[in-house]
Amino acid sequence: MVVSHQKQFVEEFGTFLGHEHSDACFYIYGSVHRGDHTPTSDVDGGIILDSGVVTDKKKLYAIAQGLALCLTNHRVELQLNVLDRQTAIDGRFLSYDSDFTDYIKVRENSRVVSGSDSRPDLRGIDYRAGVLVRAAFNLRCDRNNILLLEDRLATNPQRGRERVATALNHAGKFPKHIIWLRGEGEIVVDYEEMQRRLRRLLPTFDVCLLSKIRENKLKLEQGKLLEEDYFATHAEALECTEKLILAYLEEFPNQTKRECALVK
C-alpha cells in the first residue's frame, strides 16, 4: 500500500510535535482525514497551543523550523490554523463559527494526531459584526503565516517579505477594529486620535507598541530590514495584535449584541 505524501507529512509533523511540543494539540480534518484526498489536496487542520492569547514566540519559531523540515521532506499545501485556548474558549477572535467548531468536535470528522485533545475548547460564535470577522481572520492569517515563514524564506523570500508586511499592516490597523467594536466611531484615521481613544478603552495596553510597528513597517518599505530579522519583526507584529486582543478580552469579558448574534 502506497502512503500519500500528505499522510507522510501528517505523521512526520505529528511525531515532531509529539516529541518536542507535546502540550500542543495537532488535529486534522477534511479529505486527508477521510482518506479520499487526491495528490493535490490540501492538508486541513490546526494546532491548539496550551496558552493564553499572547503566544510564546520562541515556541512558534521552533515549530516553524520543524514544519519547514517536514515540508522539505514532504511538499504539501497546508491549511493549518494556529490557535490558543483563551480565544478558542471566548470565541470572539476565533475564525471558526459555531457550525464549524461543532463539526470538528465530532470524532468522525477530525482526528487528533498528537498532544492532548483540546478540540472541546473550540467555541465558535455566530458573528454579527463584520469588523470582528476581519479581526479574527487577520489574527488567523498572521499566526498561520508565521508558522510557514521559515519555509517561505527558504523557498520564496519575496513571498516571506510580503507576509511580514501583511502582519505589520494588520497590527497597525487592529486598533481601528477595537474602537469600532466599542462604538467609538466608524473609522479613526488620525494616529494621535486613535492612540487617545485606545488608551481610554484599553488602559492596560501599551500604545508604544504601535510606534514600533510603524518604525518596522517603514524600515521594511525602505529596504532597511534584513531578511534575517523578518521572523522577529513578524513576531513583534503578532505580539502587538495579541496584546491588543488580550487587553480587549480583559476589559470587556462579556459578548455583546454588536459582536455576535447569540450573546452568552
As a whole number of angstroms, the distance between CA 159 and CA 230 comes to 12
Q: Are residues 114 and 238 in the same domain?
A: no
Q: Are residues 146 and 25 in the same domain?
A: no
Q: Are residues 10 and 76 in the same domain?
A: yes
As a whole number of angstroms, the distance between CA 105 and CA 95 comes to 15
- CATH number of the structural domain spanning residue 170: 1.20.120
User: Of 181, 98, 100, which Cα lies nearest the Cα of 134?
Assistant: 181
The last residue of a domain, from among 82, 98, 125: 125
- Output the tens digit of pLDDT for each of the chain's 264 residues: 557 999 999 999 999 999 999 999 999 999 999 999 999 999 999 999 999 999 999 999 999 999 999 999 999 999 999 999 999 999 999 999 999 999 999 989 999 999 999 999 999 999 988 999 999 999 999 999 999 999 999 999 999 999 999 999 999 999 999 998 888 656 777 889 889 999 999 999 999 999 999 999 999 999 999 999 999 999 999 999 999 999 999 999 999 988 988 776
The last residue of a domain, from among 81, 97, 125: 125
The last residue of a domain, from among 103, 125, 147: 125
Q: Are residues 3 and 90 in the same domain?
A: yes
As a whole number of angstroms, the distance between CA 204 and CA 250 comes to 9
Q: Are residues 30 and 64 in the same domain?
A: yes
- CATH number of the structural domain spanning residue 117: 3.30.460
- For residue 3, what is the DSSP state? P
Residues 6+ apart with CB under 8 A from 85: 48, 49, 50, 51, 52, 118, 121
Q: Are residues 108 and 164 in the same domain?
A: no
Q: Are residues 32 and 147 in the same domain?
A: no
- Give the range of the structural domain holding residue 57, as residue numbers without chain letter: 1-125
Q: Is 116 left (phi over 0), alpha (psi -120 to 50) or beta?
A: beta
Q: Are residues 1 and 119 in the same domain?
A: yes
Cell of 69: 523540515
Sequence-ordered alpha helix ranges (H) in 182-262:
191-201, 208-221, 230-251
User: Of 59, 48, 43, which Cα lies nearest the Cα of 4?
Assistant: 43
Q: Is 263 helix (H, G, I), strand (E, B) or coil?
A: coil
Q: Are residues 132 and 260 in the same domain?
A: yes
As a whole number of angstroms, the distance between CA 209 and CA 206 comes to 6
Q: How many domains does the chain have?
A: 2
Residue pair 108/9 in contact (Cβ under 8 Å)? The answer is: no
Q: Are residues 97 and 143 in the same domain?
A: no
As a whole number of angstroms, the distance between CA 242 and CA 255 comes to 18
**3-state SS, one letter per residue, for 66-87:** HHHHHHHHCCCCEEEEEEEHHH
Q: Are residues 153 and 48 in the same domain?
A: no
As a whole number of angstroms, the distance between CA 198 and CA 192 comes to 10
Q: Are residues 133 and 118 in the same domain?
A: no
